[in-house]
Amino acid sequence: MKKRTVSIASEEVEIDIVRSSRRTVALYVKPGGTLMIRAPWYIPLYSLMQFVREKTGWIIRQREKMKDIRPAAEINPVEDGSHIPFLGRNLKLKVSPSARSRVEFVGDELHLMLPVPVPGKIAASVDAWYLSEAKKFFLARTSELVAKHQSLLPAPESIGARKMKRRWGTCRTNGTIWLNRELIKKDPELIDYVIIHELCHLVHHNHSRQYYQLLESIIPDYKQLRSRLSSIA
């Protein structure tokens, strides 16, 4: 999505241009008075701006109706140009049409290629990519941490990743550890903290004094790391 401005009644009004595989052009006046235009990939920018200018009268009337309506709190959409968090840094998402779906890292950019790059498909593809990367990273990092602290921590039966609403991780009594997929967005040291937190539960399946003594012996600053973990959205 690209943001531009257009002059409406001597006022510069922000307009969001969202392109997709749709066949028609649609113009919206959003609460707060900004504009959004949804259009096919192939229609040139000058044609879209001309379309907006032709709708000036309608836009003025709609903006008058909307002037007292406050915009709802926005949830940042996942789209071309978005910045998405990954391992503590932000990747710029570049979306383009392609005959087959694939994802590639290019520097600090994540290139997402889709046969039909519409908003729903983009968001679903990024979600799937997050889950795939989380599974690989969590498994590899858990193995490294177990090897590093083998005198203190046993290996889990298995490591899994899934999206959770209230927890960063959980340890089952059968030795299975589940980690929140959202962790893949965080700094690696925060991921290490959660992994070790759960591995300690393989020794003490509670939050007793002995549990925290074990955790602190491995991560002396675990309280600071815990406080850095923001709430799960």
Domain extent listing, the chain: 2-66, 83-129, 130-228
Residue-level pLDDT at 119: 82
**Block mean pLDDT (10 aa), the chain, length 233:** 70 84 86 83 90 90 66 64 92 91 90 88 93 97 97 96 90 95 95 97 94 96 85 53
And the tokens for 76? 């940042």
Does domain 130-228 sit in CATH 2.30.110.10?
A: no
The DSSP-derived string for 38-99 is: EEETTS-HHHHHHHHHHTHHHHHHHHHHHTTSPPPPPPPP--TT-EEEETTEEEEEEEEE-S
pTM score of the predicted model = 0.66
